[in-house]
Amino acid sequence: MVVIGITGGSGYIGGRLVQRYLKASASLRLVDDHSGPVDVSSPGTEVLDADFASPESLRHLSDCDVVLHLAARSGVVVCQKDPEGTRRVNVEGTRRLAASCRERGIPIAFASSFSVVGIPVQLPITEQTPARPTHEYSHQKAAGEEVIRALPGEGRPPGAVLRMSNLYGSYRSQGKLVAKGNVLNLYAARARAGGSLEVYAPGTQRRDYVHLEDVCSHWEASARYLLSARSDGVPTFCVASGESATVLELAQRVADTWRALHPDRPRLPVEVVENPRRDVEILHPEFEVDPSWTRSQLGVRCEMNLDRGIRRVLEEVLA
């Protein structure tokens, strides 16, 4: 049986990925220090409570056939407030983990972000779009990519980089709803509470939105890709739906969908407010992704379009 290692195995993505692998009766090695905002407990699993780059963790992952590296100190604001501390984890920790994997011949997939591309000089964004980071979080993700790409490989891929766009979606774990504080999940929570949908100014910033289930499908396909020994390179995969919207458009679509689901309830007001991240956020009004090469290589595509995804998130928040 293939042994799959997952760092951040109790996190937002990792927790759902573990659920899916358990249904497939996969053998898992999980590591998580439980320091993140989401902490998912999956019955029938053991999670090593430790820093992913600690000697204990590296031993725990030493018999894996592939490692999916999801753990990080994540978030623009978190990295801005503590650049040295987050860099020790996100860059130096990734370097130690990657070196251990290479020493043992274990392929590793790295969780990156579309934030690394900054303001692209050419659209659409593809797997070949170079990194042009503009703030600390994106600089750390770009550095993590380079750590993985620096690993030499013979016979099978030593690694892969998964650049993820804006995730959304929720799931149930032991009866509790698991969601992360991304914009669409936050809008769903505000809708449930009857509050306004706040849009950070100017509201024209455009993002690609991809549902968590489709993200997990890409991670599973990436693991299969690494295990299949197709090449000795380090590919970059675009984990994106190819469907974008401005934040203002997203808020209005949430309000309209909520109204259709609950015509007897008051309309949700949409309000543009001051942007607390204006100094670090990319406000470019154009953002288009073409993930066709990724889809051809991994044999996977996104099943959830944005309108269906919005409806599902709003239904789940009241379930």
Tokens of 307: 């309108």
Residues 95 and 110 in one domain: yes
Residues 62 and 137 in one domain: yes
Q: What is the pLDDT of residue 157?
A: 59
Instruction: Give the global pTM.
Output: 0.95
Q: What is the pLDDT of residue 35?
A: 92
Residue 147 falls within a domain, yes or no?
A: yes
Q: Which domain holds residue 116?
A: 3-167+210-239
The half-sphere exposure of 3 on its side-chain side, counting CA atoms within 13 A, is: 9
> Residue 183 maps to which CATH number?
3.90.25.10
CB 117 within 8 A of CB 284: no
Query: Which of 274, 283, 293, 298 has its CA nearest to residue 198?
Result: 274
Residues 111 and 202 in one domain: no
Residue 66 falls within a domain, yes or no?
A: yes
Residues 185 and 159 in one domain: no
Q: What is the pLDDT of residue 151?
A: 79
Residues 75 and 199 in one domain: no
Residues 39 and 154 in one domain: yes
Residue 293 falls within a domain, yes or no?
A: no
Residues 42 and 189 in one domain: no
Phi, psi of 32 (to 5 degrees): -165, 135
Residues 101 and 202 in one domain: no
Residue 298 falls within a domain, yes or no?
A: no
Q: What is the pLDDT of residue 181?
A: 86
Q: What is the pLDDT of residue 276?
A: 84
> Residue 19 maps to which CATH number?
3.40.50.720
Residue 214 falls within a domain, yes or no?
A: yes
Is the bond into 235 cis (omega within 30 degrees of 0)? no
Q: What is the pLDDT of residue 154?
A: 61
Residue 131 falls within a domain, yes or no?
A: yes
Compute mean pLDDT per 10 residues along the chain, 319 residues long, and list them: 96 97 95 94 92 98 97 93 97 96 92 94 94 96 96 70 96 92 92 93 93 98 88 88 95 97 93 84 80 97 97 91
Residues 43 and 157 in one domain: yes
Residues 175 and 26 in one domain: no
Domain count, the chain: 2
Residue 13 falls within a domain, yes or no?
A: yes
Residues 107 and 219 in one domain: yes
Q: What is the pLDDT of residue 152?
A: 64
Residues 274 and 199 in one domain: yes
